[in-house]
């Protein structure tokens, strides 16, 4: 609730023209942990880097431009339930923007745990980088940068579903609403 998003990236797995979205976000404050993600306060606290309140309408328009009419939008992230979704929900609330009711989330961390369980293995490390190594995916870009992680996740997600023998319907059944993630005051609709 007290922290801010400093970078966002999305990729439509169906591909096509304009299938990616990426930007730094101006948090209007000091950026800690630059040693982890490589993003410094100086990089984002500039007039030409959008603030979240300016970015939300652009983000929503990008997602609307990619979605099929009348359906749900399924967004995947690694550790979505405990990290990405609470951050997004908090930013939408702070900016007094309505969180889309048709957004469902898939947490690939949960899928990775399911995969380990199905193989009868004890989960040692199921970080995105550990999965990259496990699936023998070459490193491209810097870990913990939004688009590099999205690119990696777009390769890992189909591999996880293949190992688990899950269809798109199975993924949707395992998805969750933002209200299902931590620090939520609302009950689940599903």
CA nearest to 105, candidates 68, 65, 78: 78
Single out the catalytic residue among 35, 37, 78, 144: 144
C-alpha–C-alpha distance, residues 157 and 59, integer Å: 22
| CA–CA dist 141, 163 (Å, integer) | 25
Q: Does 144 qualify as catalytic in the annotation?
A: yes
Cβ-based neighbours of 19, under 8 Å, separated by 6 or more: 11, 12, 66
Q: Supply the Cα-derived Rg of the chain in whole angstroms.
A: 17
141: Cβ contacts below 8 Å, ≥ 6 apart: 147, 148, 151, 152
Active site (catalytic) residues: 144
């Amino acid at each position: 609730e007290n922290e801010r998003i400093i970078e966002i990236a999305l990729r439509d797995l169906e591909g096509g023209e304009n299938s990616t979205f990426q930007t730094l976000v101006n948090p209007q404050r000091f950026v800690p942990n630059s040693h982890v993600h490589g993003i410094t306060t100086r990089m984002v606290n500039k007039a030409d880097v959008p603030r979240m309140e300016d970015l939300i309408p652009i983000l929503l328009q990008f997602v609307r431009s990619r979605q099929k009419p009348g359906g749900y939008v399924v967004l995947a992230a690694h550790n979505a339930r405990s990290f990405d979704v609470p951050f997004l929900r908090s930013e939408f609330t702070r900016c007094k923007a309505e969180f889309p009711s048709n957004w469902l989330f898939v947490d690939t961390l949960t899928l990775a745990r399911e995969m380990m369980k199905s193989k009868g293995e004890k989960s040692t490390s199921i970080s995105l980088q550990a999965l990259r190594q496990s699936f023998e995916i070459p490193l491209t870009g810097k870990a913990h940068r939004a688009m590099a992680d999205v690119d990696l996740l777009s390769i890992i997600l189909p591999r996880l579903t293949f190992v688990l023998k899950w269809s798109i319907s199975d993924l949707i059944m395992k998805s969750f609403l933002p209200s299902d993630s931590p620090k939520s005051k609302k009950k689940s609709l599903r």
